[in-house]
Structure 1
Amino acid sequence: MFIIDSHCHAGKGDGLTGPWDTNASLTKYLQRAKEAGIDKTVIFPPIHSNYAQANRALANIIQKQPRHFFGYAFVNAAKNKGQILQMVRLAVRQYGFCGIKLHRYDARISREVCETAKVLVLPVLYDVLGEIQSIELFAKAYPQVNFIIPHLGSFADDWKAQSAFIDKLVKFPNIYTDTSAVKRFDLLEEAIQRAGAKKVLFGSDGPWLHPGLELEKIFLLKLSPSEEALVLGGNFLRLANKQ
């Protein structure tokens, strides 16, 4: 079975306020992923003050080991206002990237980001930092765009937000999630049971979380072979137009 980790940071940040904006070294991650049987990884930069620079650095990482990686272009919806289509189009055409990443830590999602995803037919991986209420707005406004909301909506293990997010996952056909950093296994089971395996992607949030440990959660779900194949790679390949 071909296994794709759909959520991993790579490269150096420039903020130095925490792991998320300092350094995302892949040295240990790649060894751990190999031992776990992960075949390919979706990578994007850590938090950065200059995403054009960070995306170029990411492209260099991928260029050295192209068979190991897919790339997403990271953007700041506020700071990069007026430049997002240009930035992402360059990343797609020159770097071969296949998705957009943004984080509420930087700014809330914008119409410009959504329009860019619509025009270029790209999935959007958006960490909402628990702001579940916003999902209904962009899901309805852009039904043609597929949005992946990681961590069941909250890396901070906010079970209320994660539980409320599952309702959105069920309701909107263009809302997806990944399994990275989800601590409450019962909620992960509920997401699969209610929304279906077609709405969930395996992700580790590497290199800071161990990909082998995160992958084991998928096996513990005891899905059917066809459902497991969707979660472990099929859903990503479909959303990123890589089938």
Structure 2
Amino acid sequence: MKKLSTILLLLSVRVIVAQVGIGTTTPTAQLDVNGTLRVRTTVLTNNISAAKDSILVVDNIGNVKRVSSKTVFESNLKSCVKGSFNSSSDVTLTLLADACKIGFDFVEFDLNNEFNTTQSEFTAKQDGIYQVSVQIKATSAIAVATNFGVAILKNGTVVNRTSFANVGVVGVNVTPPVRTVTTLVSLNTGDTISFNVLSTLLSLNLLGTREDCNFTINQIR
């Protein structure tokens, strides 16, 4: 009977000390501190692996957890994207209502993986101010008086564009076949950026070469 009592006592003590509270009588973790924490002495480590994977963070309800330094760094990494067409072949666009989405399907770099090459669309992962630029070049001279341009769209709505009719001299088009536009856009998480070509033509050919047709999206703050 005495042995049984001892076993029961040990089990009860084990349950009691399973969760220890400092500043609280209702601990919710093995050590629950309701107050500040001070560590007077720490040991310096030369273990590179530990430095990469031993950062302590506190969640929104005060729980201390460990994350990798890479996770912390990438959570605050600003957007930086540069893209173009995947093929250097000419790209034919069919226009409806004088506009057509530009099917950029290649990214040279995309730090936060925010550009969808299937939908040719950028989706912001964080609030901020973004600088957006796009350049396109037609494959050949467009007829005189034909409108031709490019636009930047936020959530499907044009926020900036450059579009003008070609100028002719003695019936010959002398306007360069390049159109560019750059603007600053305020984006919230989930907002999208895409690009349209603008023209009164039913179809239009763009150069597929990356140095002629490309875009950049850079978060500045």
- Which structure: larger Rg? 2
TM normalised by structure 2 equals: 0.21
Quick check: which one's helix share is greater? 1
TM normalised by structure 1 equals: 0.20
Quick check: which one's strand share is greater? 2
